[in-house]
Amino acid sequence: MESAVTGIKHQKMLEDLLEACKVNLPTVNENLISKAFQLSYESHKNNFRASGEPYFYHPYQVAMVVAKEIPLDDVSVVSALLHDVVEDTEIGLQFVAKEFGKEVADIVDGVTKIGGVFKGQDISQAENYRKLLLSMVKDVRVILVKFADRLHNIRTLEFVHPQKQRRIAKETLEIYAPFAHRFGLGRVKWELEDQAFKYLNKEAYTDIAKNIKEKRKEREGYIAKFAKPIEEKLKAHNLKFTLEGRPKHLYSIYKKMINQQKSLDEIYDLFAVRIILESEDPNQCYYVLGIINQHYKPIQDRFKDFISIPKKNNYQSIHNTVIGPDGRLVEIQIRTRKMHEIAEKGVAAHWKYKEDLVSSDTELEDWVNWVRDIFENSTKDEATKEILASFKLNLYQDEIYIFTPKGELKRLPLNSTPVDFAYEIHTKVGNHCIGAKVNGKIVPLDTRLHSGDQVEIITSKNQHPNKSWLQFVQTHKSKSAVRRYLNREEDKLVEQGKDIWDKKAKKFKKNLSIDEINKLSHKLRYDNPRQLFKDVAIGKIDPEEVLNPVKEIQEEESNELVFDSFVEQARNISGGKIVVEGEHKGIQHTYAKCCNPIPGDPIIGFITTGEGIKIHRKDCINIVQMSKTQPDRLVPVNWPRTNGSMFVAGIDIHGEDVPGVLKDISNIITTYKNTNIKSVNISTGDSMFHGTISVFVSDLEHLNKLIERLKKNRGVYSVERFDVSN
């Protein structure tokens, strides 16, 4: 008997839902809605809410909100019915997509993700959270189904624990209510605010509600008394109009009491009326204003003319405050029917003026106006479903919002990495960033982050930026910090090289002037002495061979002959045949030690004087600089198709210092294609290790696969290629 009664009740619920859809939606797929209704019921039938009601009542009521209060389309209704099945049951997204289509599955997935954003998080950065929500979804219906979900949740909040009540109420007031207002969902915003207010400040809510209820008849009677002479005069002038009271919701009254530091009795616009003229002539508004001001004394500083000077969102109306019967203040709005339609349906930008928010959200303002036009101005005969299906939300898609482990939000550009996130926290954190955990999982430092990710940065005092970071960091702050560090390190090398040079010069009693050092640098094919001193510091050039050549030669020829001896040495270092294109075929080549190219790297040649062609990686910082100043020296080159040569490559590796880690790393390297290790340098500290390993590889693919194998080893945080001298 009970099951029969339940069956009848559920059948009536389905019929009510379908009827609401037929009344409010442009097209209705009854079979799809019925199917979703049944699946939702079966999935949740053994679950109950805190109120004791079957859990199924929640998705059903959310679907009713979508059908009646935020009328979208039938896909949204189906998604509302199913919005909790993936999160709360064994049903997966693939099943939803197969049975109900990809659109429904995407919306359900989006609503689930949004629901998980706030769990355990502090919502002190409300505006960022609203942008985060937008950045996470591409279909506007995700946001609107979530509004419906929140609306029903807060309507039934009385049954949950008081602590949870406050958390949800705060979240609703600071995130969802202002967000709903931006979407132009005024009635939804009104209810969300009042319901949240009830749980955040029950005493004030109860007091205001009680006072307003007690004075409701008095207020309605006063408005009627105030309006009667105005209505008589307007009718006497043959004007067609509608005069209505404008009730204020409780939270709005409370905010005014706080902001203006006034009591409830002093809030003048508890008495407020609106006059809507059934005319397209704006001059009639001024005519009505004159009639009212003849009867009731106006308050000058409370008059605002938004007809002659409309707001930026095209809002037009006259705002006037007068002294009514018994000396009470009454606020009046006067507008034409067309102005009223714009004010009601195009108030998407009104939040900007009411809430003192920043004016940089003009894109959001324009977009929400368009959304309102779709949802509120489209008739049932228009293809609303097709408009929505093709609609893609592109606001804030150039930004992502990332959580710290403590739940704080950081805003970053699209495609940002853990290194960008680290620098966003602090420059020192970025400079010592050794690894990262994204959503609890260790990832490479060049991993692209996505909105909603939680990122934990692992640091080590032994870690420092390297120039490979410049290839993947996105923020200006990160790039500047990395370059600044690299420049400081270069300054140190230059200083060290200069000290070495000065000591050698003193030893051989060669007191060269600044001009002579400049000339010598150019003779040695350096752009400036800094580059010369840098190479001295890293041992690339021995100042003794320059300052004290072995051969007894005339002073004016010494630099040329010494340089030629360097050329001869360089020619003996060549590590394999390069295919040189054009007129430079057959010219001797060597590999640049600044970037150590290996087969597979994009490369280019640079013609030197005396050293033939230097082969650089195309992304080498030196070649990038030289290409700007001496582009005519660049030569197209390619790797040969087959070449048995081996090349030296560097691997930089960081991780947790666990027993046997060095052995594991060595085994991974030597067991892959019998790779030989040239040198290993491992240092430990703070329970971390940092290693640099030089290996012989055949090409770039060989190196990349080796790096990928190392990344999978236990305790390894990051593995990157770095430039190593042969």
Q: Which residues contact 522 (CB under 8 A, 6 or more apart)?
A: none
Q: Which domain holds residue 680?
A: 647-722
Indicate whether 614 belongs to any domain. yes
- Are 449 and 501 within one domain? no
Indicate whether 242 belongs to any domain. yes
Residue with tokens 């659109």: 103
How is residue 70 annotated by DSSP?
S
pLDDT of residue 43 exceeding 70, the answer is yes
Q: 37 near 59, Cβ under 8 Å?
A: no
- Are 282 and 335 within one domain? yes
What are the tens digits of pLDDT across the range 291-319? Answer: 999 999 998 888 999 898 876 546 689 99
**The two structure tokens encoding residue 174:** 């600071």
- Give the C-alpha separation, 391 to 179, whole Å: 19
Q: How confident is the model at residue 38 (pLDDT cuts 50, 70, 90)?
A: very high
pLDDT of residue 402 exceeding 90, the answer is no
Give the alpha-carbon dihedral of 154, 157, 161, 163, to 10 degrees.
Answer: 30
213 CA to centre of own chain: 45
- Residue 311, classified by CB atoms within 10 Å of its CB into exposed (0-12), middle (13-18) or buried (19+), is middle
Q: Which of 165, 200, 235 is the last residue of a domain?
A: 200
- Are 226 and 327 within one domain? yes
pLDDT of residue 378 exceeding 70, the answer is no
- Are 113 and 166 within one domain? yes
- Are 163 and 278 within one domain? no
pLDDT of residue 323: 92
User: In whole angstroms, how large is the CA radius of gyration of the chain?
Assistant: 37
What are the tens digits of pLDDT across the range 670-719? Answer: 888 878 888 788 877 777 888 888 888 888 888 988 998 888 887 788 88
For the segment 643-655, the average pLDDT, to the nearest whole number, is: 79
pLDDT of residue 571 exceeding 60, the answer is no
What are the tens digits of pLDDT across the range 135-166? Answer: 555 677 788 888 889 899 899 888 888 888 89
Give the alpha-carbon dihedral of 632, 638, 639, 642, to 10 degrees.
Answer: -140
pLDDT of residue 619 exceeding 70, the answer is yes
Indicate whether 105 belongs to any domain. yes
Q: How many CB atoms lie within 10 A of CB 264?
A: 15
Q: Which of 571, 591, 612 is the last residue of a domain?
A: 571
- Are 255 and 118 within one domain? no
Indicate whether 561 belongs to any domain. yes
The residue among 235 and 572 whose pLDDT is bigger is 235
What are the tens digits of pLDDT across the range 451-475? Answer: 888 899 988 887 888 888 888 898 8
CATH code of 652's domain: 3.30.70.260
As a whole number, the mean pLDDT across the chain is 77
- Residue 88 catalytic? yes
- Are 675 and 651 within one domain? yes
pLDDT of residue 240 exceeding 50, the answer is yes
CATH code of 466's domain: 3.10.20.30
- Are 195 and 295 within one domain? no
How is residue 279 annotated by DSSP?
-
- Are 225 and 305 within one domain? yes
What are the tens digits of pLDDT across the range 72-112? Answer: 788 889 999 998 888 888 888 889 888 889 888 888 888 87
What are the tens digits of pLDDT across the range 487-522? Answer: 888 888 888 888 888 888 888 777 777 777 787 777
CATH code of 308's domain: 3.30.460.10
What are the tens digits of pLDDT across the range 579-597? Answer: 666 555 667 788 887 788 8
pLDDT of residue 512: 78
- Are 503 and 525 within one domain? yes
Indicate whether 375 belongs to any domain. no
Indicate whether 688 belongs to any domain. yes
pLDDT of residue 394 exceeding 60, the answer is no
Q: 60 near 81, Cβ under 8 Å?
A: yes
**Amino acid symbol at 116:** G
pLDDT of residue 34: 92
- Residue 232 catalytic? no
pLDDT of residue 366: 54
Q: Which of 345, 362, 389 is the last residue of a domain?
A: 345
Question: Strand pairing of 589-591 and 613-617?
Answer: parallel
The residue among 282 and 656 whose pLDDT is bigger is 282
Q: Model's pTM, two decimal places? A: 0.52
Q: What values do phi and psi take at 397, rounded to 5?
A: -75, -10
| Residues present in the chain in total | 726
CATH code of 136's domain: 1.10.3210.10
What is the total count of domains within the chain? Answer: 6
**Amino acid symbol at 178:** P
Residue with tokens 């204003």: 289
* % of the chain exceeding 90 in pLDDT: 13
Q: How confident is the model at residue 183 (pLDDT cuts 50, 70, 90)?
A: low
For the segment 371-398, the average pLDDT, to the nearest whole number, is: 45
pLDDT of residue 285: 94
pLDDT of residue 526: 76
pLDDT of residue 582: 56
The residue among 152 and 624 whose pLDDT is bigger is 152
- Are 20 and 50 within one domain? yes
**CA nearest neighbour of 417 among 468, 492, 467, 474:** 474
Indicate whether 393 belongs to any domain. no
Catalytic choice (2, 16, 53, 88): 88
Sign, Cα dihedral of 594, 596, 600, 605: positive
- Give the C-alpha separation, 20 to 71, whole Å: 9
Indicate whether 385 belongs to any domain. no
Give the lowest-confidence range in 30-44, 87-101, 212-226, 694-708.
Answer: 212-226
**The two structure tokens encoding residue 291:** 């009639």
pLDDT of residue 222 exceeding 60, the answer is yes
- Are 500 and 612 within one domain? no
Catalytic choice (2, 30, 73, 87): 87
